[in-house]
Chain A
C-alpha cells in the first residue's frame, strides 16, 4: 500500500462515480446531457471547489480550515462597500478585498503555526470573527443587511457571466486554479514540503524545513481562495451580503475528504478534490432536473462522505482479512 498507487485508485473510483452520475441523471432527464448547462452549473459550486483546492493543502499539513465560508461573506461585503458606498474603482476594490481575505488567512496561519493552537479552534474563532466583522461593516455603513449591496456595474457581472470562446469564466477559473494548485502541491518543492510537514512536522523541522512558514502559507492560500470565491459569488448573485458563504462549511470539507485527502494529514491531492466537487455540484443540478428537492442533496453528500471515509479507513484491514480467509481456504482445499 503506497502513496502513489493508492490515491490514483481513489481518483479512478471518483471518475467512475462521476461518469455513472452523468449517465444516470441523463437517463432521467436528457437535458442533463446538454454541455452548456453542465458547464454553466460550475457557477453554482465554483466557490466550494476553489476553496476546496486550498483547504486540501491545509489538511495535508494536518490542519483544518473552517473559516473559508465567512471569508466569502467578508470579501463580498468589502467589495460592495468599497465600490458602491465609498466609491472606489471596482477593480481596485476587488484587489483590496483579496488583500483582506489574505490577511484573514494570515491571522489564522500565524496563530496556528507560530502560536501552535489547534487549527480547529482558531478557524472556528476566525469563522465567528470574520463573518462578525462583515456584519459590523454592513451595520456601520447603514446598508440594509437583508437586501445587501447591489447596483454593481455590468463589467463586474461579466466576471461570473462572461465567457471566453464559449467556455464560461467560472469553468476557466476552475481550471486555472486547479492547474496552479496542482503545480504547487504535486510538482513543486513547496508542495513536497507540505506533504513532509504533514507526515511528521518534527522530522521535517529536524531536516531543516521551515515548517511553520509552510503551514502559515497554506492558510494564506486558503484565505485567498475564499476571497476569489467571494468575488465570484458576489458577481454571480449581483449583490454583496455578509451571510454569503455561510452554508459552504460542510460542502467544502466534504469535497476535500471525499477527494481522498486524509484528515490526519500527509496524504491527498487536488485532483481528487476537483473530481469530488464536480460530483457534488452535478449531484445538485441533477437532482433539480430530476424533480427532486435540492434539500435531499445533504443526504447524498452525507452518505457519500461517511461511506468513502469508511472504505478508506477500513480498506487496509479488510484487504488483509480477505487475503487471510482466501489463504485459509487454500490450505484446507
Chain B
C-alpha cells in the first residue's frame, strides 16, 4: 500500500461476520485515510451493507478488529459511531416519514435547534439544493429524501461518510451536484466510502476502488491503476470468462405483414405521455431509460396496476387498455415486477407454492397437487434452479434463483407477452448471464418480451429493438443495426437524433 499524506480514519482488520449459518464476511481488511474516496463495488450479498453496518456500530464483529482514528472499537454502537463522526447515508433513505424535514435533521443530534437550522440552510444553499424545512418527510420524492439524508450527514460534520448507492434515485444534474460535494469534502479531509454498481462513477469520483465478492476483498487498487475490465474480472466468480461475450444471438426477424403481439398507441398517464411502440412475436424489445424516466409506470399501466388517461393498448386483436390485472393476465399478459421482494415473491411460502401461484386459476375447486408437482419439477429442471427441496421457503434461495422461480411462475401461464422490469436487479454476475440465456432461449422459442432496464449494457446486449424513454416520453427507436452502446446511452439520456417515425412531436 502506498502511503500519502495520510492520517488513518478507519482500519478494518480481518473482519468476520455471520448470521446464523450464513457467513457474510470472511476476513475483510480495509483502510480508509483522510482525503480518500474509496469505491466499494460488489453484487448483492457480497457483504457491502454488512461491512458498513459494522462500521456504524449496528452489527458487532464475530472476529477481527475495527479501529477508528487509531482506536480499537469495542462495544461499538450507533450512537458512538455518530459521536466520533461516522455517518451512513443508506441506500433506502431511513427517514421518519411523519416528521418534518427539520425534525429529521435534528433528530438525535444534541445541539440547539436554531444552530442546526442555520447550518442546514447554509449547506442547502451551498449545494444549490432546495428543500423546504417545514415539509413532512413523507411528501418528499425519493431523490429529495436522498438529498435530505446527505444533508443530515453534512450537518453532523461527519469525518467518515458512507454513501450507499446514493445516485440510484438521483437525476443526472442532482448526481452532478452530489459529485461536486464529494469532491469538496474530499479536499476538506473527509474520508468517504462510496458503494455503487455504476462503474463509470467509480472512475469519476474515487481515489481507490475495492471489490468485495462473496465476503472477501478481491481487488484493492488506486484508481489510476484500474481499468473497467479489471473491475469486471474482479466481480466475476473465479475461473469464468471476462464479461458477457456476445453469445446472445440476435437473429433478425422480419415483421412485415405480421400483426404485432402488443401495440401501444398514444398512451398517456401519470409519469408518461404519448407513448407509441409495438412488440412482435419472437423478439426482445427494450425500453431503455434512467431510473424515474417513467418506464415502470408505463409497464404498470399496460399490465393494469394503474390506469392510463388516454391512448390504447392492444394485445393481439384485443383492446386491453382499461383492464385490471385479473383480465390482462387472463388475456395472456404477464409481468415480472421491478421490486422482487415487494411484488415478486411470497417470501415465507415454499418454492412450489410460489411457482404454481398462477396455474391455480385454471384448476377446479381443489388444488391439483399432481399438476403442481409436475410443473414445479419441469421448471426447476428447465431453468436449472438450485434448491434442496421444492418445499423450502423461497427466501432461503439466492436472488438469482428467486428470480428464476418468478420467471417460471410467469412461464407456467404460457403468456403471449412477458414484461420484465429490471430482471437482473440485485443478482450476481453468474446468475445474471444465466438469466440472459433464459431470456434469449425464450425469445427463440417464440415468446415476446418487453425488457425494461436501467442497466444500459444489459439492454444493449439482449434486445432486438430498443425504445428510449426519457422523462416520460418515448423519443427514440433503435433498430437492430442502430443498437450500440453510444446510441443506447443517447436514447436513455434523450439526446438521440429523432430518426424514428413512431414519434410525433
Contact = CB atoms under 8 A, between A and B. Distances in A.
Interface of A: 1-5, 187-193, 195-196, 199-200, 202-210, 266-267, 316-317, 320, 323
29 contacts: A2-B350, A3-B350, A3-B391, A3-B393, A187-B367, A189-B360, A189-B363, A189-B365, A189-B366, A189-B367, A191-B367, A192-B353, A192-B357, A192-B367, A193-B360, A196-B353, A196-B357, A199-B346, A200-B343, A200-B347, A204-B346, A206-B305, A206-B325, A206-B344, A207-B357, A207-B358, A208-B330, A266-B346, A316-B20
Contacts of B21: 320, 323
A188 B20 contact: no
B391 A4 contact: yes
B393 A2 contact: yes
A159 to B, nearest CB: 29
B20 A320 contact: yes
Contacts of A190: 365
Q: At the interface, is chain A mostly helix, strand, loop or mixed?
A: helix
Contact of B348 (A3, A188, A206, A320): A3
Given A192-B360, A196-B357, A2 B346 contact: no
Contacts of B360: 189, 192-193
B34 interface: no
Nearest to A206: B343
Given A189-B366, A189-B367, A202-B343, A208 B393 contact: no
Contacts of A195: 349, 353
B17 interface: no
B393 A206 contact: no
A188 B364 CA distance: 9
Interface string B341-377: 0111111111001000110110111110000000000
A208 B349 contact: no
Interface residues of B, number: 34
Nearest to A186: B367
B342 A204 contact: no
The CB with the most chain B CB atoms within 10 A, among A196, A200, A207, is that of A207
Interface in B259-287: none
Given A2-B391, A2-B392, A2-B393, A206 B337 contact: yes
Contacts of B367: 187-189, 191-192
Contacts of A317: 20
B376 to A, nearest CB: 14
B329 interface: yes
B342 A202 contact: yes
B346 A188 contact: no
A7 to B, nearest CB: 12
Contacts of B349: 3, 195-196, 199, 266
B325 A208 contact: yes
Contacts of A200: 342-343, 345-347
Given A202-B342, A206-B335, A267 B348 contact: yes
Interface string B381-394: 00000000101110
B409 interface: yes
* Most interface-central of B326, B347, B348, B350 (chain A CB within 10 A): B348
B60 to A, nearest CB: 15
B393 to A, nearest CB: 5
A195 B393 CA distance: 13
Contacts of B326: 208, 210
Nearest to A197: B346
5 nearest A-B residue pairs (beta carbon): A208-B329, A199-B346, A320-B20, A189-B360, A206-B343
